[in-house]
Chains A and B, each alone.
Chain A
């Protein structure tokens, strides 16, 4: 079955950087686009980015544009989120999610927590 495992979350100071990973299994990773979605603890869900199946189209929410970089390695079945110039408002649980069709996310990982604090 589909399995998504995020890792890399940590406590980081404002202005710092972090790289998250999402290891995928149970499906043909190279056939599907992938999402990053975040959630402030106890709050709602917010889109971060979407990357097409082959990495040739990458889209970012305005809140992270210019600071975050999404990439993927289809040979390793892994999705990445490079987070730079981190701000306290980036503190959240970060989820990766598999595309079902177009922009619909069907399967979600358990998430990895990023805390930006001095």
Chain B
């Protein structure tokens, strides 16, 4: 199975300031079709996960443009340009290149 490692595990951020989460995979996430199926999920308190970003940098329907993804191969980053109160929660990177899909440990975003 592909192992996903996130840093940091906790991120206290001031409202209006940027935040960044790193994710590394234990092997390349490039699929045989040439795409890289690295996704980012958000889980607000008491809610199910929600898809934010897929294929490294494509924002899912309804996701604000303050969320962006980047990276390649085994190293990926989620950035929030200006954190808002509604962004509090846990963020997971997830690889969907091969089964089983695997997740990072999660990064808890909290407001300072």
Please give the residue numbers on chain A whose beta carbons come within 8 Å of chain B beta carbons, in ascending order: 35, 37, 44-47, 50, 59, 61-62, 95, 97, 100-111
- Kindly provide the distance from the CB of A63 to the nearest chain B CB, expressed in whole angstroms: 9
Interface flags for B40-77 (1: CB within 8 Å of A; 0: not) read: 01000000111100110000100000000000000000
Q: How far is the CB of B24 from chain A (nearest CB, A)?
A: 16
Determine if A103 and B37 form an interchain contact, defined as CB atoms under 8 angstroms apart: yes
Contact A61 B100 (CB under 8 A): yes
Bound Cα distance from A110 to B94, whole angstroms: 19
Knowing A45-B92, A108-B49, A111-B48, say if A102 contacts B37 (CB, 8 Å): yes
Q: Which residue of chain A lies nearest to B101 when distances are taken between CB atoms in the complex?
A: A47
Q: Which of B92, B96, B103 contacts A102 (CB 8 A)?
A: B96
- Chain B, interface size: which category? 20 to 34
User: Which 10 pairs show the lowest CB-CB distances between chains A and B?
Assistant: A103-B96, A47-B100, A108-B48, A45-B103, A104-B96, A47-B101, A61-B100, A59-B99, A106-B51, A104-B54
CA–CA, A95 and B50, complex, Å:
12
**Nearest chain-B residue to A60 (Cβ)?**
B100
Q: Closest residue to B35 on the A side, CB-wise?
A: A102
- Contact residue among A35, A37, A44, A100 (Cβ-Cβ distance under 8 Å from B105): A44
**CB closest residue in chain A, given B96:** A103
Instruction: Find the B residue at minimum CB distance from A96.
Output: B48
Pick the most buried of A47, A62, A104, A107: most chain B CB atoms within 10 A of its CB.
A104
Please list 24 pairs of residues, one from A and one from B, whose beta carbons are closer than 8 Å in the complex, sorted by A's number.
A35-B101, A37-B49, A44-B92, A44-B103, A44-B105, A44-B106, A45-B41, A45-B49, A45-B106, A46-B103, A47-B100, A47-B103, A50-B101, A61-B100, A62-B100, A95-B49, A102-B96, A103-B97, A104-B39, A104-B96, A105-B51, A108-B48, A108-B51, A111-B48
Q: How far is the CA of A27 from the CA of B43 in the complex (A)?
A: 23
